[in-house]
Amino acid sequence: MYASLALGTSPTSVDAHPLEEAMLANGELTSTMTALLDPLDDHQEFIHTLYLYLAFDRDRQRVARHLTVHPRTVDYRLRRIAALTGLHPQTVAGAGKLLAALISRTHRRLAPA
């Protein structure tokens, strides 16, 4: 559900996302994953680009069209995300960790205090 919200797609039932729910049930893991994005806090355009990159199945051309920027701008932002976080969004491992971090961050922001 939070992945859907984080990526701007339609949420579905909790049962449809058992891995996501298991991750979010572990507060320490959620905190660790959320912290992966801390270096991007001063770069909201990088976070927005990352959301779109993952939501659009890592299609940088589509991201560029959506943001009305050149594809090289998307490439630059992805390189900066990698430099700041140590995670490369273009790799499966990096994209997976960054998606988990975005889900955790969205969960934290939407969870009741």
Question: In this predicted structure, what is the pLDDT of residue 79?
Answer: 98
- The CATH superfamily holding the domain 2-110 is PucR C-terminal helix-turn-helix domain (1.10.10.2840)
Task: Please answer whether residues 89 and 78 qualify as being in contact, where contact means their C-beta atoms are separated by less than 8 angstroms.
Answer: yes
Contact 54, 9 (CB under 8 A): no
Dihedral-angle region of residue 31 (phi above 0 means left; psi in -120 to 50 means alpha; beta otherwise): alpha
The residue that leads in pLDDT, 100 or 69, is 69
pLDDT at residue 103 greater than cutoff 60: yes
User: What pLDDT shows up at residue 47?
Assistant: 96
**Considering the chain, what is the average pLDDT of its residues?**
84
- Give the domain ranges of the chain: 2-110
pLDDT band (50, 70, 90) for residue 1: very low
What is the C-alpha to C-alpha distance for residues 67 and 111, in angstroms, rounded to an integer?
29
The pTM of this model reads: 0.77
